[in-house]
Amino acid sequence: MDSIKDLEAIIESVLFAAGDPVSLDKLSEIIEHDKKTTKAIMTDLIFKYKNASRGIMVREIDNGYQMCTKPEYNDYIAKLGQIRKKQGLTPAAYEVLSIIAYNQPVTKAYIEKIRGVNSDSAISTLLDRNLIREAGRDETPGRPKLYETTEEFLRVFGFSSIKELPVIQLNEIQEVMENIPID
């Protein structure tokens, strides 16, 4: 039977080699232990990396795990010169992304009803950046596309799951709604 240290080493090597998030199910299968045991090992491993003086960490992303660099070292990594920084999102794209994140899955018509303007460009940008994806079709007439956020969204914004989105207070919503121009 493998020791905990052996299992951690196996998981570290798998996460490093994968690059992308690896599901709890897959990790359990690889180390040949049940999900509860694997989850406990992962929780401990995340804690160890978080509290170690290291440049890397393990993150939980949508019931999967990924090894990545700690954000505080981004400036040093940028000195490699090989990393292409994507341009930031426009305010319109952030608006669309927040509408999708908080209301997913949603149609383009729903997004445009809230924003009051065409959102084709922002949706296209978010799809290109893999921050959102098509999540099927709505059952309403015309069967419009539904949009939802992706694992990349969680990774980029540092969330483990969509449940970690900051809670918007009712008074904040009322303030925003009061500032929306009415035709």
Give the pLDDT of the chain (183 residues) as one tens digit per residue: 578 888 889 999 998 888 888 899 999 999 999 999 999 999 999 999 888 888 888 988 878 898 888 888 888 887 777 555 556 788 888 899 999 999 999 999 999 988 888 898 899 999 998 999 999 998 888 899 999 999 888 888 878 888 888 887 666 655 655 665 554
Which class would CATH give 91-178?
mainly alpha
Report the C-alpha gap between 160 and 143 in whole angstroms: 31
- Tokens representing 48? 């160890």
> Residue 133 in contact with residue 97, Cβ under 8 Å?
no
pTM given for the model: 0.58
List the chain domain ranges: 4-78, 91-178
CATH topology of domain 4-78: Arc Repressor Mutant, subunit A (1.10.10)
CA contacts within 13 A on the Cβ side of 153: 27
Nearest to 98 by CA among 28, 183, 168, 51: 168
